[in-house]
């Protein structure tokens, strides 16, 4: 009796669900050999490629399936999921829209769109998508999770936690809500409660998501992995059929557990394996670090924005003193500086956003430096200040801690001549090693390679040196090592730079009831400590590629 295509596809799906990816792919190839445009087989190939971390192949397979079957809602949805998972958030939205054209009542799509829109800080649209999901499934946990994610992105962590708890009341087995609740608690500094959530998550989640659970558990600073858990994570890291991001997460989790217990060589081996795999995955998605391009871009900024540039443009922009910007390398103490300043009653901390980038993109078609476009620059600056005042009308200073704004300080000086900029610095080896040990799931592609970490460090510091010597706005350098050695003295210096009276709560920053969403959320909830200074010495024998870049000083 001949086996039908549908029956063979079901066999392939069973193989895929059991983690037998090679066997599942063989089934797909056999179906496609007989029927080259079978959309379901193409779709399954996309799923298999996604599990392996082959982003480009997954996207191509989903798009081919959609080409054959234009109303293939599941293919549109998985295409959107793949794009958003690769950090291509804006690109994912048309894919989700395609799924909704084919299936308007597709609740999961509305939920996912709400989350992506929140990540893009398009909160009105995110709430509209979430409301539609809630209308379609009023008694479902998914829309409540989406609402929680929106609130968390709005720095309303306590409200977000309430939504995640409501989702768990509806469906106690909704393990993703446990993870989200843990993140909301973590961002508030409630580490014990967060650890409990993450523990429950790793007990309930499928093996394909185990790594992420342990990454989050390790970030609480409250637990260690026992030998059995370490072996389980090692098995995930070495399992080629496990989803690629799960393997990467397992590697970073093991690295943290080993580092915490002083097993430095083992920790470095795990971090190296995880970074190499993630670098490969990101390269497959077209996201590669190009040192020569970074250097050229910074050369261009230095050549364009010199002292003479600003001499003839002093009347540009909005002179408000409300905006403050923190810039520098990741892992350079910027979250600590942000938390100290935001502990002042007259300061509001925004965390990280995309506002300046969005302004730059809007002005890109017209040269913002041109005299003919001064009104466009002034209007954009005025609108931004109005948006800041809408966020907190009582604050005297509002801080944007988007570190990549270091590339936009020339434009920022045009937009906001009354603004202040804080440049965060940290010893090169400690900064680069800390970046290498931090899994940045989006952006910061330099961090997956030690030599690239050195390049980025040198180039960002070269650019900051230029800005400090060229920009007409007020700027302050804060050295991490000096800050932790003299917390009160340096905190007073920081608050004085902001033009505000001293407040003793600034040195009690770890008690501040703010939402922290950066990788430093554990560190900034602790009283000041100096154990991170000179941490690189534990790994000195492994830092050859980094030292070569830092020693020759070229950053290329």
Q: What is the DSSP string of 125-156?
A: HHHHHHHHHHHH-TT-HHHHHHHHHHHHHTT-
Report d(CA 428, CA 482) in Å as an integer. 14
13 within some domain: no
Give the mean pLDDT of 15-43: 88
Decide: helix, strand or coil at residue 399. strand
pLDDT value at position 15? 85
pTM, rounded to two decimals:
0.84
Any domain includes 205: no
Provide the β-strand partners of residue 323: 398
Residue 172 counted as domain residue = no
Non-local (6+) Cβ contacts of 439 within 8 A are: 215, 248, 249, 252, 274, 278
Whether the Cβ atoms of residue 129 and residue 137 lie closer than 8 Å to each other = no
Whether 225 is in a domain gets the answer no
Residue at 342 is within a domain: yes
Cβ atoms within 10 Å, residue 105 = 12
CA angle 171, 84, 411 (to 5 degrees): 125
Q: In what order do the strands lie in the sheet with 420-425?
A: 347-351, 397-400, 323-328, 420-425, 474-479
* Angle value at C-alpha 388, between 382 and 391, nearest 5 degrees: 145
- Angstrom distance (rounded) from CA 108 to CA 80: 11
Mean of pLDDT over the chain: 89
**More confident call, 146 vs 4:** 146
Most confident range, picked from 279-283, 439-443, 514-518 = 279-283
Q: Is the pLDDT of residue 187 over 90?
A: no
**Per-residue pLDDT tens for 75-116?**
999 999 999 987 788 899 999 999 999 999 999 999 999 999
Please check whether residue 153 lies inside any domain of the structure. no
User: Which two structure tokens, joined as six digits, stand for 324?
Assistant: 């403050």
Gap between the Cα atoms of 41 and 28, Å rounded: 5
Task: Tell whether the model's pLDDT for residue 308 goes beyond 90.
Answer: no
Q: What is the CATH number of the domain that holds 380?
A: 3.40.50.300
Residue 474 DSSP one-character state: E
pLDDT tens-digit readout, 347-385? 998 888 778 888 888 877 556 666 557 888 888 999 999
| 391 contacts: CB under 8 Å, gap ≥ 6 | 348, 350, 398
pLDDT reading at 555 higher than 50: no
pLDDT at 201: 93
Lowest mean pLDDT among 135-139, 223-227, 478-482, 545-549: 223-227
* Domain encompassing residue 392: 291-552
- 428 in any annotated domain: yes
Give one DSSP letter per residue of 22-41, joined into a string: HHHHHHHHHHHHHSTT-HHH
Retrieve residue 224's tokens. Answer: 């260690």
| Residue 95 covered by a domain | no
* Helix intervals (H) in 205-289: 210-219, 227-237, 244-260, 264-284
Q: Return the percentage of the chain with pLDDT > 90, whole number.
A: 60
Please state the domain count of the chain.
Answer: 1
Residues 453, 360: Cα–Cα separation, whole Å: 26
Q: Would you state the pLDDT for residue 515?
A: 54
Report DSSP letters for 328-362, one per residue.
E-TTSSHHHHHHHHHTSTTEEEEES--HHHHHHHH
């Amino acid at each position: 009796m001949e086996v039908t295509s549908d029956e063979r596809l079901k066999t392939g799906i069973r193989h895929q669900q059991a983690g037998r990816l090679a066997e599942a792919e063989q089934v797909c190839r056999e179906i496609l050999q007989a029927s080259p445009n079978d959309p379901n087989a193409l779709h399954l190939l996309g799923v298999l490629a996604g599990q392996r971390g082959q982003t480009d192949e997954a996207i191509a397979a989903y798009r081919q399936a959609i080409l054959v079957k234009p109303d293939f809602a599941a293919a549109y949805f998985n295409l959107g999921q793949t794009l958003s998972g690769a950090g291509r958030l804006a690109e994912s939205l048309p894919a989700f829209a395609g799924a909704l054209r084919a299936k308007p009542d597709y609740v999961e799509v509305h939920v996912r769109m709400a989350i992506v829109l929140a990540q893009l800080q398009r909160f009105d649209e995110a709430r509209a998508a979430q409301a539609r999901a809630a209308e379609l499934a009023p008694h479902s946990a998914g829309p409540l999770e989406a609402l929680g994610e929106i609130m968390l992105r709005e720095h309303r962590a306590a409200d977000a936690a309430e939504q995640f708890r409501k989702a768990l009341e509806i469906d106690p087995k909704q393990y993703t809500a446990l993870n989200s609740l843990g993140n909301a608690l973590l961002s508030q500094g409630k580490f014990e409660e967060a650890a409990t959530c993450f523990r429950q998550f790793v007990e309930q989640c499928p093996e394909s998501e185990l790594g992420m659970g342990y990454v989050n558990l390790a970030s609480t600073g409250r637990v260690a992995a026992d030998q059995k858990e370490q072996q389980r994570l090692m098995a995930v890291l070495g399992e080629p059929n496990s989803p690629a991001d799960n393997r990467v997460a397992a590697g970073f989790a093991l690295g943290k557990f080993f580092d915490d217990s002083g097993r430095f060589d083992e920790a470095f081996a795990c971090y190296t394996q995880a970074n190499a795999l993630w670098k490969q995955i990101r390269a497959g998605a077209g996201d590669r670090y190009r040192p020569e391009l970074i250097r050229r871009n910074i050369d261009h900024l230095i050549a364009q924005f010199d002292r003479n540039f600003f001499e003839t443009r002093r009347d540009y922009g909005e002179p408000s003193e409300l905006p403050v910007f923190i810039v520098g390398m990741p892992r350079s103490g910027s979250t600590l500086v942000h938390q100290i300043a935001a502990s002042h009653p007259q300061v509001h901390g925004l965390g990280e956003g995309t506002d300046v980038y969005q302004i730059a993109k809007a002005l890109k078609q017209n040269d913002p430096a041109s005299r003919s476009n001064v009104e466009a620059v002034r209007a954009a600056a005025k609108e931004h200040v109005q948006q800041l005042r809408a966020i907190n009308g009582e604050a005297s200073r509002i801080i944007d801690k988007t570190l990549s704004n270091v590339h936009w300080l020339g434009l920022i000086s045009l937009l906001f001549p009354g603004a202040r900029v804080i440049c965060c610095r940290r010893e090169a080896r400690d900064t680069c090693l800390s970046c290498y040990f931090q899994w940045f799931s989006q952006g910061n592609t330099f961090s997956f390679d030690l030599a690239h970490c050195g390049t980025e460090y040198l180039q960002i510091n070269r650019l900051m040196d230029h800005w400090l010597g060229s920009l007409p706005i007020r700027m302050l350098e804060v050295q991490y090592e000096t800050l932790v050695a003299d917390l009160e003295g340096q905190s007073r210096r920081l608050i004085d730079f902001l033009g505000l009276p001293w407040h003793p709560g600034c040195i009690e920053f770890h008690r501040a009831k703010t939402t922290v969403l950066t990788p430093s959320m554990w560190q900034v909830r602790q009283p000041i400590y100096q154990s991170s200074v000179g941490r690189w010495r534990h790994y000195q024998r492994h830092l050859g590629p980094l030292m070569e870049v830092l020693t020759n000083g070229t950053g290329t």
